[in-house]
Structure 1
């Protein structure tokens, strides 16, 4: 073989090897781009799913268009007040409370007899605003479910009695016992005539859940940030110095009602 032919063959082999090396390099770059593009796509999808999941988890507000079914006889702005006592009583006691709240239970234990006596003598009417702070702080649904059940009792004209039963049987704050609707229904058996098929369906179906959530949202926008919050004729009177007592509450109401006639109460409010 001549030197010329030998050089030609080496050149051809070298050219082929160079071409193959270039082809391999291009193929490697293509695979890298495909993998990188796939990772970006997966991360993008994950981000979208994460945002959607985060938005869903963080929202406790009913979906747009869900009606907030107010209980029978509810009054006030957006019908968010459950009233107890004669409507024309000369003074108004406003109570914001959460059925899971231990401080609310302490208030009720100390003040319930006095409040009932003032209601039943026509000196005050009480306006209840139901709140779900403990559900938000500790998790669970006991505040919501108990408030819905209390609203169902309002439908039956037995809010006051059932309200008192719930506080008399309030579990430990860490024990979300009121999340169990069977517990709420069992406690309803302590109120004569309350545990009917209609009440049971109202509790089990969460008929007033959206209304309770709306009430809690209104509390969040009220400027108050703790339960219980107690107002007499619009003025905060609980958690102040000197501390409120049943006697001082009675004295405050007497002073506020001076020169005014008490309402005529024909029957003890339920």
Structure 2
């Protein structure tokens, strides 16, 4: 089992899981979760990758899991989150790592790989394509991502998301494998608002700002029954990858790392080896 540790950055106490805290010889894998998840979503992958000889580092993004909640919307901008993750790797003495991301974690992984190429050995992204490909995707993606506009509505959205109606988080993300755990976690005062801030702090960047190309060899995974992401935004991400490109289309819903861990684990181990 990975150990939970904490470190300080930006005056925040940030949490992470580490599968081999005393082993500097293992190649490192940085696993980045999305919304509405936390680092523990990666447990099936951590166990498989650790067994295959890797050291797994899975941070709780600011405001999520057991990491502190930052006070301002701007604190949740992708640039600050990447700085948190790179500071963690520096703290652990890890110069370079493989990077895995799902959902918003995939967005962060794409941008990290593009802006800090020397620190990303190989990249694996699930569900969300390169942010520029996402922004340029067609009407189908705009329709599938309707809820991202709801999330911008501040207090109104927070009240709706916490409830049980049509626009509740429980209804929108009803396909999550463990929605009861998610809602129990978000019952802590401020936690839901903190987690949603990643949408509010980054949508302009996602939609309007051209983001860097990626030089790392990239494994891209997309699932056929994902209600939130269309295939074209992942397929078209090939245009922003200068390294080798491997695409895998998987049967299943949005949370493929939880729903099909054996398939995902095998793909990750093979890619990173």
| TM-score, normalised by the number of residues in structure 1 | 0.30
Larger radius of gyration: 1
| TM-score, normalised by the number of residues in structure 2 | 0.30
**Structure with greater helix share of residues:** 1
Larger RCO, structures 1/2 (Cα 8 Å, 6+ apart): 1
